[in-house]
């Protein structure tokens, strides 16, 4: 019997890809990243890879979501909040062995923040000289080198989210001597880039010269598997080390998961919304946009389509964001009000022409879109559904070539600004979609100069009120994640920002 049990145990370990030599972690990706250049990164798919290769000056604590030292071992902030002095960690090198100095960090930040393709550089608009550097290229006067290990960033006005922004990928530190980071990423992180097979997989290996704590996994293989059903099959065949459980399988994984699989759940600050292109009729009519918001049964989508892997969200901020107003009501399901608004807009019999919703290939997204399609049909709006390859979708979205686009947005830091500046201001993405509200933009700029408290919270409440009035987006759900981890794999978890952590994993 003892021999039989040993054979069975060995068979299970073999099935789930567990070995006793070099450890390999198989990480599923729902799409193939269009580039590996951190300056033009877009989407969580690419971030899952690059946050193993690169490091910023600050990091976010996975438990609190607050900024803590990263490549900077310490930071001193002046009393007026306008000067930040960073002392760098000792002995840091890029994966090619070249040392990291304050001068190199300055060059890396300038490359990131002056790249015209970096849509997130507006997060650093308070840095002195950034606007001039973006126009004239490339030295930023507000970033100065004190000595070999010390860097200073000076601001034109206080910025309460600067440290959190410096933990975000626009501030990843890359080797400025490498010309094509999109093909050969070169960072300081615990893993170095090894190879890429387009449309199939990306391989990283632990960097022997890493300055920090060595990772427990020797090798990460990112496998591109767009269909969630295929991810489930691959996970249960032992070919993946974790699985974001899709709605179709969540009940089974909660009650009777595969043998040895551990399951964890987490409410996250990841939201899904549709963005209206207001440069196109009839979406340039606020009454039409409001009508579409009232037409959607978000509770049914969360409970039935997503099987509880989401909560209905009829407003900008999900629960869990500090300062979120509890007495502000979002859009509710009210098809009669939706019909009335359409009639007021001049469409008593509904819209004559269909509207097309476009997003990247995603089978769960299609099922959600079909529920939205059915709800809109009830008020006389025909919705066509179009899915595209990820890179093509992002390109068409950024060029305002779509009627409506889907955004799956995870907070990059635990602050209301993580949902405001990029999503609903002119500095962010909505200018591309024809939305502009001067009051909202002014409030957003003022809010980041204030410390946390009632005054700041009141500004964000007013911002949410404006979003409900103007309806530039159609918010749908916030995410509840169910993560399954393969047998024999320890130390993997998901945080409230939706980031899957494997830095302390072992197998």
Q: Does residue 137 form part of some domain?
A: yes
Are the C-beta atoms of 186 and 174 separated by less than 8 Å? yes
17, part of any domain: no
Q: Which of 203, 11, 6, 175 is nearest to 95 (CA)?
A: 175
Number of structural domains found in the chain: 2
- Choosing from 171, 189, 204, the residue where a domain stops is 171
pLDDT at 21: 62
The token duo for 455 is 């005054």
The pair of structure tokens assigned to 30 is 């729902």
> What was the pLDDT predicted at 461?
97
Tokens found for residue 305:
């389509």
Tell me, yes or no, whether 208 lies in a domain: no
Tell me if 431 is assigned to some domain. Answer: yes
Q: According to the model, what pLDDT value does residue 429 have? A: 67
Alpha-carbon span 346 to 143, nearest angstrom? 54
Q: Which of 121, 155, 171 is the last residue in one of the domains? A: 171
Which residues form the domain of 374? Answer: 267-480
For 498: left if phi > 0, alpha if psi spans -120 to 50, otherwise beta; the answer is: left
273 with 405, same domain: the answer is yes
**What is the per-residue pLDDT for 422?**
83
Of the candidates 294, 280, 277, 433, which has an alpha carbon nearest to the alpha carbon of residue 353? 280
Helix runs in 237-362, H state only: 250-255, 286-294, 298-300, 335-344
497: left (phi over 0), alpha (psi -120 to 50) or beta: alpha
Task: Give the Cβ contact number of residue 97 at 10 Å.
Answer: 7
Which CATH number does the domain housing residue 469 bear? 3.10.105.10
Distance CA 473, CA 489 (A): 40
Whether residue 159 is found in the same domain as residue 305? no
Q: What pLDDT does residue 137 have? A: 77
Q: Per the domain annotation, does 110 fall within a domain?
A: yes
In this prediction, residue 196 carries a pLDDT of 97
Question: What token pair was written down for 461?
Answer: 């409440």
User: From first to last of its 507 residues, what are the pLDDT tens digits of the chain?
Assistant: 333 334 344 444 444 544 456 899 999 999 999 889 998 876 788 889 999 999 999 999 998 889 999 999 999 999 999 999 999 999 999 999 999 999 999 999 999 999 888 878 888 999 999 999 988 877 999 999 999 999 999 999 999 999 999 998 889 999 999 989 999 999 999 999 999 999 999 999 999 999 999 999 999 999 999 999 999 999 999 999 999 999 999 999 999 999 999 999 999 999 999 999 999 999 999 999 999 999 999 999 999 999 999 999 999 999 999 989 999 999 999 999 999 999 999 999 999 999 999 999 889 999 999 999 999 999 999 999 999 998 899 889 988 899 999 999 988 889 999 999 888 887 776 677 889 999 999 999 999 999 999 999 999 999 999 999 999 999 999 999 999 999 999 999 999 999 999 999 999
CATH of residue 114: 3.90.76.10
Is position 193 within any domain? Answer: no
What is the distance between the alpha carbons of residues 298 and 332, in angstroms, rounded to a whole number? Answer: 8
Question: Residue 86 — φ and ψ, nearest 5°?
Answer: -110, 130
Q: Are 384 and 355 in contact (CB under 8 A)?
A: yes
Query: Rounded to an integer, what distance in angstroms lies between the CA atom of residue 136 and that of residue 463?
Result: 33
Q: Are residues 281 and 159 in the same domain?
A: no
Helix (H) or strand (E) holding 2: helix 2-15
CB 193 within 8 A of CB 35: no
At a CB cut-off of 8 Å and minimum separation 6, what does 96 contact?
175, 178, 186
Closest CA to 108 of 175, 19, 24: 175
pLDDT value, residue 11: 44
Q: In what order do the strands lie in the sheet with 143-147?
A: 72-77, 83-88, 150-154, 143-147
> In sequence order, what are the beta bridge partners of 318?
none
Which parts of 129-190 are beta strand (E)? 143-147, 150-154
Asked which of 171, 189, 218 is the last residue of a domain, the reply is 171
Residue 381: closest CA among 406, 399, 414, 356? 356
Torsions phi, psi for 462 (to 5 deg): -65, -35
């Amino acid at each position: 019997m003892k021999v039989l049990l040993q054979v069975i145990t060995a068979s299970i370990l073999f099935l789930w890809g567990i070995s006793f030599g070099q450890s390999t972690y198989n990480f599923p990706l729902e799409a193939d990243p269009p580039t590996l250049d951190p300056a033009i990164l877009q989407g969580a798919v690419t971030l899952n890879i690059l946050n193993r290769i690169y490091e910023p000056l600050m990091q976010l604590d996975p438990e609190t979501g607050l900024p803590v030292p990263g490549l900077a071992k310490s930071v001193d902030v002046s009393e007026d909040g306008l000067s930040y002095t960073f002392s760098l960690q000792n002995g840091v090198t890029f994966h090619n062995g070249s040392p990291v100095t304050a001068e190199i960090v300055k060059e890396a930040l300038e490359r990131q923040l002056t790249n015209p393709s970096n849509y997130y550089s507006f997060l650093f608009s308070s840095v002195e000289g950034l606007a001039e550097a973006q126009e004239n290229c490339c030295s930023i006067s507000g970033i100065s080198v004190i000595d070999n290990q010390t860097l200073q960033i000076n601001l034109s006005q206080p910025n309460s989210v600067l440290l959190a922004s410096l933990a975000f990928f626009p501030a990843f530190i890359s080797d400025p001597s490498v010309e094509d980071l999109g093909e050969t990423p070169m960072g300081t992180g615990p893993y170095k880039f090894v190879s890429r097979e387009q449309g199939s997989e990306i391989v990283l290996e632990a960097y022997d010269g890493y300055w920090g704590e060595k990772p427990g996994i020797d090798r990460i293989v990112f496998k591109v598997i767009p269909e969630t059903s295929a991810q489930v099959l691959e996970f249960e065949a032992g070919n993946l080390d974790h699985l974001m459980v899709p709605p179709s399988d969540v009940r089974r994984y909660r009650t009777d998961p595969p043998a040895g699989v551990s399951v964890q759940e987490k409410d996250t600050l990841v939201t899904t919304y549709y963005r209206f292109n207001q440069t196109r009729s009839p979406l340039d009519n606020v009454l039409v946009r409001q009508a579409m918001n009232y037409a959607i049964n978000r509770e049914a989508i969360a409970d039935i389509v997503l099987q509880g892997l989401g909560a209905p969200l009829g407003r900008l901020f999900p629960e869990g964001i500090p300062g979120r107003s509890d007495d502000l009501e979002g859009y509710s399901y009210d098809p009669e009000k939706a019909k009335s608004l359409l009639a007021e807009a001049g469409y008593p019999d509904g819209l004559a022409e269909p509207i097309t919703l476009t997003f990247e290939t995603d089978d769960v997204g299609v099922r959600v879109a079909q529920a939205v399609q059915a709800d809109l049909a009830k008020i006389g709006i025909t919705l066509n559904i179009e899915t595209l390859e990820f890179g093509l979708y992002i390109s068409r979205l950024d060029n305002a070539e779509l009627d409506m686009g889907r955004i799956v947005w995870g907070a990059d830091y635990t602050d209301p600004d993580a949902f405001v500046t990029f999503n609903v201001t002119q500095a962010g993405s909505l200018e591309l979609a024809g939305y502009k509200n001067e009051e909202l933009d002014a409030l957003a700029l003022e809010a980041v100069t204030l410390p946390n408290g009632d005054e700041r919270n009141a500004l964000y409440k007013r911002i949410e009120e404006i979003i409900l009035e103007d309806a530039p987006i159609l918010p749908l759900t916030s995410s509840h994640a169910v993560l399954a981890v393969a047998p024999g794999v320890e130390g993997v978890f998901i945080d409230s920002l939706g980031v899957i952590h494997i830095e302390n994993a072992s197998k």
